[in-house]
């Protein structure tokens, strides 16, 4: 039976453990940073760990999130290598599309980090490190979440470059997980800034 299965051309090899490990890493990362950031917001748990230095605590979280991202990417590539390729993704035009996606994705991620700074990118708002004004220039005039869509594009580009349908599936998971993360993060950060603005207005009135 299993011989029949393995001899038929398959899109995705569900028997590879690396596929599930990659899927878990993809779901884990945003879950981790949302959990840690909310604990920081409510209990100052990370800032306390850094003797009250919220700037340093935020940088430590940034480094952790960044490293977890690299680890997740490595697990993704490892999963792809043990998956079957598909002729449809081996057409000569595919690598061009793949490189265009990876390039655009990296531009979105890097330019948004440049625009927001390290603390702005890595959940500084939760540490009380707020931006003076919302960033509206590039890449935020292209999409509201350049970091997430840029990252998704890089995942898809890599899947195409490896010609692995499994990569397209995992990219779908990346997008889904980011949508869920945005659903948690956007209202929360909006409220943090709304609170700051209410305080500012109240401060002006008493002056």
Ligand X SMILES: *[C@@H]1O[C@H](CO)[C@@H](O)[C@H](O)[C@H]1NC(C)=O
Using CB under 6 A as the criterion, which residues of the chain lie in contact with ligand X when the complex forms? 137-138, 141-142
Nearer to ligand X, 132 or 207 (CB): 132
Nearer to ligand X, 139 or 167 (CB): 139
Nearer to ligand X, 137 or 203 (CB): 137
The residues near 22 (Cβ < 8 Å, ≥ 6 apart) are 72, 75, 76, 78, 79, 170
**Virtual torsion, Cα 139, 144, 146, 148, nearest 10 deg:** 180
Nearer to ligand X, 115 or 181 (CB): 115
Largest CA distance in the chain: 80
The least CB distance from residue 137 to ligand X, in Å, is 4
The least CB distance from residue 138 to ligand X, in Å, is 4
Q: What is the C-alpha to C-alpha distance for residues 152 and 120, in angstroms, rounded to an integer?
A: 20
Per DSSP, the chain holds a count of helices (H) and strands (E) of: 7, 0
The least CB distance from residue 106 to ligand X, in Å, is 17
The least CB distance from residue 114 to ligand X, in Å, is 12
């Amino acid at each position: 039976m299993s011989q029949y299965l393995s001899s038929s051309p398959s899109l995705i090899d569900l028997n590879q453990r690396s596929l599930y490990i990659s899927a878990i890493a993809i779901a884990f990362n945003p879950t981790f940073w949302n959990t840690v950031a909310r604990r920081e917001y409510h209990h100052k748990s990370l800032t306390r760990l850094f003797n009250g230095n919220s700037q340093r605590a935020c940088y430590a979280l940034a480094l952790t999130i960044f490293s977890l991202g690299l680890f997740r990417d490595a697990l993704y590539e490892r999963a792809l290598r043990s998956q079957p390729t598909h002729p449809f993704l081996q057409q000569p035009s595919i690598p061009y599309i793949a490189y265009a996606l990876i390039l655009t994705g990296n531009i979105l991620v890097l330019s948004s980090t440049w625009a927001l700074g390290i603390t702005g990118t890595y959940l500084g708002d939760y540490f009380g490190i707020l931006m003076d004004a919302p960033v509206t220039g590039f890449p935020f005039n292209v999409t509201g979440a350049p970091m997430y869509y840029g990252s998704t594009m890089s995942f898809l580009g890599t899947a195409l470059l490896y010609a692995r349908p499994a990569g397209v599936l995992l990219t779908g998971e990346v997008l889904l997980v980011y949508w869920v993360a945005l659903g948690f993060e956007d209202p929360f950060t909006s409220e943090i800034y709304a609170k700051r603005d209410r305080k500012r207005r109240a401060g002006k009135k008493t002056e």
